[in-house]
Amino acid sequence: MNKIALILVLLTLSLSMGCKKKDESSEPKEIAGVPTVDEQMKEWPEEQAEKEKEQAREAGEMQEEVISEAFEKEKKIMEAEGTKEKEGGIVSKIEEKTKEMHEEQVKKEEITAPPEIAAELWNLIQTENYTMRWKMWPGKEAFYKGTKPHGALLTTYVNSIGYDAVVKKESKLPLGTIIIKENYMPDKMLGAITVMYNLAGFDPEHNNWFWVKYAPDGKPMTMDKDGTTMTLAGKVPGCIGCHSASNSGIDFIMTTPE
Ligand code: HEC
């Protein structure tokens, strides 16, 4: 029995080390003018931070539960059979379960930190060099006329993942679709960049769109509402609310392609 306890401790330790390792390697690179994730996190409301802590705590507790459950089950089998630990027994079961839990936890972390996603998305679209490599919205050229709350003049790009589906006016655009709208003032000065990113599992209730409004320097913009400052990144109620009223028939999209 002592041997099993030791294996358990080792497995738990290696799992938590695995989690730490992931955190270090996934740290986004710094880019001049773009605030680091840490800087953005500072501005992230405390309430959200608390919620994330709570989720991490719950995931940890669930993990312990699963491990002790598997342990108890195996103990019973061993007692019934009067055998020693056998191959393919508790060790592989725990390994399997912990791996699952770990993956779930990683997924959760990724979908609960919008400022981090926003920073990664900004890096991605810069690397993609979208103004050179992506097509503009079908039927629209640079600096077409926009309406409130967006810019006076707009230039909108779609990545190749979503382009054909937009042309075909599909009611659901593919996962990985990114739409970038540059919002210009009447004098063609860039005011903001609004992006819709279809991110797997991010917001199933609203077709998984990740919404963000960047300042020209790549920092997500904020808005004051009822005395609190909210970052315009993630499931932004304003964006979702207005875009749900779209009548283009296309997945929260306002502009009918031509
Ligand atoms: C009050 C309504 C309203 C709100 C709020 C709003 N939008 Fe829009 N959005 C529009 C309209 C209307 C268009 C079509 C272009 C135009 O006429 O300005 C549009 C177009 C877009 C487009 C180009 C694709 C399309 O649907 O046509 C993107 C991307 C976009 N908005 C992102 C956002 C993001 C991100 C937010 C939140 C930060 C947001 N929008 C908030 C009304 C809104």
Stronger pLDDT, 123 or 107, i.e. the higher one: 123
CA of 226 to the centre of ligand 1 (A): 23
Structure tokens at 203: 């917001």
Alpha-carbon distances, residue 16 vs 9, 12, 22, 90, 96 (angstroms): 11, 6, 10, 19, 15
- Find the mean pLDDT for residues 18-23: 44
Q: Which helix (H) or strand (E) holds 137?
A: none
Structure tokens at 7: 């294996």
CA of 156 to the centre of ligand 1 (A): 11
Site to substitute for ligand 1 among 159, 243, 244, 251, most atoms within 8 A of C-beta: 243
The span from the CA of 149 to the CA of 236, in Å, is 14
Per residue in 162-194, pLDDT tens?
A: 999 999 999 999 999 999 999 999 999 999 999
CA of 130 to the centre of ligand 1 (A): 19
Which three-class secondary structure state does DSSP give residue 222? strand
Counting atoms of ligand 1 from 1, which one is nearest the CA of 150?
18
CA of 41 to the centre of ligand 1 (A): 26
Alpha-carbon distances, residue 172 vs 14, 166, 209, 257 (angstroms): 41, 9, 11, 14
Spell out a b/e string for 202-220, using b for 16 or more CB atoms within 10 Å of the CB, else e: bbeeebbbbbbbbeeebbb
Of all protein residues, the one whose alpha carbon is nearest to atom 24 of ligand 1 is 253
Residue 161 confidence class, pLDDT cut points 50, 70, 90: very high
Residue ranges around ligand 1 (CB below 6 Å): 146-147, 149-150, 154, 156, 179, 181, 194-196, 211-213, 232, 236, 238-239, 242-243, 253-255
Torsion of CA 27, 223, 201, 59, to 10 degrees: 60
What pLDDT sits at residue 211?
A: 98
| Helix and strand element counts for the chain (H, E) | 8, 9
CA of 243 to the centre of ligand 1 (A): 6
Q: How far apart are the first and last CA of the chain?
A: 71
Alpha-carbon distances, residue 22 vs 12, 60, 94, 106, 107 (angstroms): 16, 16, 20, 9, 12
> Does 20 have pLDDT greater than 50?
no
Query: Facing residues of 231 across strands?
Result: 222
What pLDDT sits at residue 27?
A: 44
Nearest to 199 by CA among 234, 241, 160: 234
> Does 123 have pLDDT greater than 60?
yes
CA of 146 to the centre of ligand 1 (A): 9
User: What does the domain layout of the chain look like in residue ranges?
Assistant: 131-243
CA of 217 to the centre of ligand 1 (A): 20
- Find the mean pLDDT for residues 224-245: 93
The beta strands (E) that lie in the chain are given as: 135-136, 144-145, 153-158, 178-184, 190-198, 209-214, 222-225, 228-231, 233-234
Query: Facing residues of 157 across strands?
Result: 136, 180
Counting atoms of ligand 1 from 1, which one is nearest the CA of 253?
26
Of all protein residues, the one whose alpha carbon is nearest to atom 23 of ligand 1 is 181
